[in-house]
Amino acid sequence: MPKNTTVEPQVNPSPELEKKTRRVFTTEYKLSIIQQADACQHGEIGALLRREKLYSNQLSQWRKEFAENGIKGLEKSAPGPASAKTPEQKRIELLEKENARLRHQIEVKDGCLSLQKKALALIEAMEQENKS
């Protein structure tokens, strides 16, 4: 009788399928790219962007930030819109949700206790009837 041999499959994920992380650009790098783009002749910006693996909208955004706020504008900012709520407001909201959840839990438990008391009273009443 042949032995049943099973081979454990080994998974080797493809590097192309691995999750890529977002690139972070330093202020110096952004300023360098802006300066190189400004020095480009007609039609050379595309080659610069391909070489650096950048998009034209990134260059446009960096130029806009630099024009509006200087070097300070090129510093990293948090992605997405700013939160409208303060940390205290977020904490209060979280605590209110937890409070509501706990109140509901207490209502359910109180209902169970009330049901148990009624069942016990009914059983006792039935036992009294049987005795008499």
- Measure the CA–CA gap between 12 and 124, rounded to whole angstroms: 68
**pLDDT at residue 98 in the model:** 97
- Contact, 26 vs 47, CB < 8 A? no
**pLDDT at residue 69 in the model:** 87
b/e 82-98 (16+ beta carbons within 10 angstroms → b): eeeeeeeeeeeeeeeee
pLDDT tens over the chain, length 132 residues? 556 666 666 767 676 667 777 788 889 999 999 999 999 888 899 999 999 999 999 999 999 999 988 888 888 765 667 778 888 999 999 999 999 999 999 999 999 999 999 999 999 999 998 887
Rounded alpha-carbon distances, angstroms, from residue 16 to 10, 27, 49, 50 = 18, 29, 22, 19
- Measure the CA–CA gap between 49 and 37, rounded to whole angstroms: 9
List Cβ neighbours of 37 (8 Å cut-off, separation of 6 or more).
45, 48, 59, 63
Domain boundaries, the chain: 24-78, 85-132
